């Protein structure tokens, strides 16, 4: 029995470490995205450089989370909810790494934009950012707190994300139809809108993984929510 207690204690510690590392990665991803957008809106090259440099940390954390997850699976052979938690955490790490990549893309385009005169309409991106970053924050909180209702709320906001993206990017696209000398800058802003939409899409994926972890129901690609969440 003492041996069993030791094994169970080690197992719990490993699960806790995996969850805490995933939460830490989420915080870093949020920070990178915030720095990239602040760098864009404030024309602050240092913030952009920070977002780009800190992406290396997210890459390392993704590898560490995969290592922790595989170690738990091979060493303890978890079943049911514990196994789903491990799988969900590893999938979250992949989503978060991709979100951090979007932040890097935004930061690099922002640095390009700084070489030219400021486009006043750039501020219009802030609304789309608030929608996408809000979805990401709630998806990560849903994971940390095992809050399925919050996860469902993230999924429900996907339509608003699409609408906001369409409206914002359309305004920049219209400028491309004119004879502006900064047409390349407007095109960069269209790309930035697309990357922010992708952040929201990945936040939705995280929310779906939270629901899978808690209920074992896979709602990807049009799957139905469990009855208790409808």
Global confidence as pTM: 0.93
CA distance 31 to 119: 25
SS3 call for 219: coil
CA distance 200 to 189: 17
> In a structure prediction context, what are the per-residue pLDDT tens digits for the chain, which is 230 residues long?
334 444 678 999 999 999 999 999 999 999 999 999 999 999 999 999 999 999 999 999 999 999 999 999 999 999 999 999 999 999 999 999 999 999 999 999 999 999 999 999 999 999 999 999 999 999 999 999 999 999 999 999 999 999 999 999 999 988 888 777 788 999 999 999 999 999 999 999 999 999 999 998 888 888 888 777 76
Q: Give the per-residue pLDDT at 3.
A: 40
Q: Give the per-residue pLDDT at 118.
A: 93
End-to-end CA separation in angstroms for the chain: 44
CA distance 12 to 9: 5
227 Rama sector, left if φ>0, alpha if ψ -120 to 50, beta otherwise: alpha
Q: Give the per-residue pLDDT at 7.
A: 65
- DSSP secondary structure string, 128-164? HHHHHHHHHHHHHHHHHHT-HHHHHHHHHTHHHHHHH
- DSSP secondary structure string, 67-109? HHHHHHHHHH---HHHHHHHHHHHHHHHHHHHHHHHHHHHHHH
Q: 2-229: which CATH number, 3.40.50.880, 3.10.129.10, 3.40.50.620, 1.20.58.220?
A: 1.20.58.220
- DSSP secondary structure string, 157-208? THHHHHHHHHHHHHHHHHHHTTT-TTHHHHHHHHHHHHHHHHHHHHHHHHHH
CA distance 192 to 119: 14
Q: Give the per-residue pLDDT at 155.
A: 96
Cβ atoms of residues 37 and 106 within 8 Å: yes
Q: What are the angstrom distances between the C-alpha of 81 and each of 14, 15, 38, 46?
A: 15, 11, 39, 43
């Amino acid at each position: 029995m003492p041996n069993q207690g030791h094994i169970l204690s080690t197992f719990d510690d490993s699960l806790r470490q995996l969850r805490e590392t995933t939460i830490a990665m989420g915080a870093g991803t949020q920070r990178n995205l915030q720095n990239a957008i602040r760098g864009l809106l404030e024309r602050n090259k240092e913030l952009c450089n920070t977002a780009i440099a800190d992406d290396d940390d997210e890459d390392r954390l993704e590898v560490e989370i995969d290592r922790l997850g595989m170690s738990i699976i091979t060493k303890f052979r978890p079943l049911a909810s514990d196994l789903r938690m491990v799988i969900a955490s590893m999938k979250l790490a992949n989503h978060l790494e991709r979100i951090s990549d979007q932040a890097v893309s935004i930061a690099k385009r922002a640095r390009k934009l700084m070489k030219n005169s400021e486009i006043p309409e750039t501020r219009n991106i802030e609304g789309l950012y608030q929608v996408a970053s809000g979805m990401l924050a709630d998806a990560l909180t849903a994971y940390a707190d095992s809050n399925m209702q919050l996860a469902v709320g993230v999924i429900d906001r996907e339509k608003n994300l699409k609408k906001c993206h369409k409206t914002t990017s359309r305004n920049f696209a219209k400028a491309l139809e004119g004879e502006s000398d900064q047409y390349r800058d407007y095109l960069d802003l269209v790309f930035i809108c697309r990357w922010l939409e992708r952040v929201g899409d990945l936040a939705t994926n995280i929310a779906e993984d939270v629901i899978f972890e808690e209920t074992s129901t896979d709602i990807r690609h049009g799957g139905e929510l469990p009855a208790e969440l409808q």
